[in-house]
């Protein structure tokens, strides 16, 4: 075995492997008999240490525990034998290491495949926070507050990558050396608290030390800039720009301006049987498709007043909707539910009947998004050239249709917050 391969195994025991390193470990154990034997040897060491501890008094035992590292306290021999057997049979007990925990959320709306409820333990992966605040603690003791909208990639307990948005980081003494990457550079911590802002539209990464010291590295030049209390620099298009002392609140540049237009009061749902009073509500937009009882199909119509905004001045336009709980059985839906967004041009009035509403045949399909049946909350929508072109042509009316059907009667109805919802924002067009 090479030293690199040994370090890979020891890194797993130290709980410091990245997702890619973990995949390499799986391959190594599958293909390398010596690697599996190395695990067994670690278990043998542990067994001998346990036998030795029985023959010394408590004080000596405490001293011995201090003198050996965690690497020497590997798994027991019996566990290693079991792993050896499973490895040779093509099976593995390993699971990706848990590297972080969500501590708390404040009005958070997520778009993420990782768990997002407080208390959830996280493996390496990407978190997208659409709105609100989220506090996350890494296994190294590093804690950070993510401010939505933001996107962060959890790499290991000692490395994180901020893709977009703002994060406030607190690094304890035992985690000195923590690395926070951005698309434009990275910061190495030397025991401090600091803030980082990434503006992906302007290609700017800004670093500010609140207390302590960090080193900001520019990968292109290979240079490092040391920052201490209240100092700030930014990296814009590959150029490092130290901020001048005394610029105060201007030291961290604001994110790109986002113009938001919320769906108006004319946004509504329709139901095929036209029993609006029984099956529709003003505070939610309901969407459902079924070929079992099609009279209960529902669609949502959105109307945005874009008269006060010039859509042609923006590079991107996003439709964003907040999913909220509704009636029906989630188990009676496909595991993944597909929704289509159509652009429509016909107006509508109050008390809209199905036959009078804009139809799919008269609409322009702009895109799709999907929602797992397990989800009852979250932020969903589309952002693409078709939506941008439609809105930039001066149109602000959209139709939401669920393309997937329920698999059995009484499948869940999907609901999105409307303008009357007491807790969540209505649909919004975001211009940036």
Q: Tens of pLDDT along 288-299?
A: 999 898 999 999
Are the CB atoms for 196 and 167 separated by under 8 Å?
Answer: yes
What phi, psi does 305 have (nearest 5°)?
-90, 100
Structural fold of domain 100-250:
Jelly Rolls (2.60.120)
Are the CB atoms for 165 and 130 separated by under 8 Å?
Answer: no
Tell me the per-residue pLDDT of 167-210, one tens digit each, with 9 for 90 and over: 999 998 888 889 999 988 888 888 788 999 998 877 888 888 88
Low-confidence ranges of the chain (pLDDT < 70): 13-20, 23, 30, 36-37, 39-96, 220-223, 237-257
What is the bridge-based pairing of β-strands 414-417 and 317-324? antiparallel
Query: Any idea where the domains of the chain sit in the sequence?
Result: 3-88, 100-250, 259-431
Are the CB atoms for 175 and 140 separated by under 8 Å?
Answer: yes
Torsion-angle region of residue 360: left (phi > 0), alpha (psi -120 to 50) or beta? Answer: alpha
Give me the pLDDT at residue 66, please. 37
CA–CA gap between residue 155 and residue 142 (Å, rounded): 13
Give me the pLDDT at residue 271, please. 96
Give me the pLDDT at residue 48, please. 42
Are the CB atoms for 280 and 255 separated by under 8 Å?
Answer: no
CATH architecture of 259-431: Sandwich (2.60)
Question: Helix, strand, or coil here: 47?
Answer: helix
3-state secondary structure 391-418: HHCCCCEEEEEECCCCCCCCECCEEEEC
pTM over 0.75: no
Cβ count near 250 (within 10 Å): 11
Give me the pLDDT at residue 302, please. 97
Give me the pLDDT at residue 61, please. 40
Give me the pLDDT at residue 40, please. 59
Are the CB atoms for 153 and 125 separated by under 8 Å?
Answer: yes
Question: Are the folds of 100-250 and 259-431 the same?
Answer: yes
């Amino acid at each position: 075995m090479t030293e690199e391969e040994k370090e890979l195994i020891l890194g797993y025991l130290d709980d410091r492997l990245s997702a890619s390193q973990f995949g390499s470990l799986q391959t190594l154990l599958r293909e390398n008999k010596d690697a599996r034997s190395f695990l067994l040897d670690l278990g043998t060491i542990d067994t001998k240490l346990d036998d030795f501890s029985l023959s010394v008094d408590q004080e000596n035992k405490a001293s011995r525990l201090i003198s050996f590292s965690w690497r020497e306290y590997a798994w027991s021999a019996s566990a290693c034998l079991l792993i050896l057997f499973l490895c040779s049979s093509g099976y593995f007990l390993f699971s990706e290491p848990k590297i972080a925990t969500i501590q708390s959320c404040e009005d958070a709306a997520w778009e993420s495949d990782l768990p997002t409820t407080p208390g959830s333990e996280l493996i390496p992966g990407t978190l997208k926070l659409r709105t609100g605040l989220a506090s996350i603690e890494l296994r190294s003791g590093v804690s950070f507050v993510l401010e939505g909208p933001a996107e962060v990639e959890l790499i290991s307990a000692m490395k994180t990558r901020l893709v977009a948005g703002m994060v406030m980081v607190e690094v304890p003494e035992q985690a000195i050396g923590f690395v926070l990457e951005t698309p434009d550079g990275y910061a190495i911590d030397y025991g401090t608290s600091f803030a980082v802002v990434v503006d992906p539209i302007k290609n700017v990464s800004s670093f500010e030390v609140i207390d302590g010291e960090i080193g900001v590295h520019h990968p292109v030049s290979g240079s490092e800039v040391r920052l201490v209390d209240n100092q700030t620099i930014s990296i814009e298009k590959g150029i490092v720009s130290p901020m001048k002392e005394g610029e105060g609140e201007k030291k961290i540049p604001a994110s790109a301006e986002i113009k938001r237009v919320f769906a108006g009061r004319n946004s509504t749902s329709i139901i095929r049987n036209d029993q609006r009073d029984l099956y529709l509500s003003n505070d939610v937009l309901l969407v459902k498709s079924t070929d079992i009882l099609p009279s209960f199909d529902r669609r949502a119509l959105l109307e945005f007043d874009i008269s006060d905004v010039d859509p042609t001045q923006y590079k991107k336009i996003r439709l964003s909707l907040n999913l909220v709980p509704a009636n029906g059985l989630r188990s009676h839906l496909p595991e993944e539910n597909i929704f289509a967004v159509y652009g429509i041009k016909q107006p509508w009035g109050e008390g809209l009947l199905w036959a009078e509403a804009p139809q799919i045949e008269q609409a322009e399909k702009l895109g799709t998004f999907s929602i797992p049946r397990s989800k009852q909350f979250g932020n969903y929508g589309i952002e693409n050239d078709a939506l941008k072109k439609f809105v930039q042509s001066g149109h602000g009316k959209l139709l939401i249709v669920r393309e997937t059907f329920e698999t059995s009667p009484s499948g869940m109805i999907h609901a999105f917050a409307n303008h009357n919802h007491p807790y969540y924002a209505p649909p919004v067009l975001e211009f940036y």
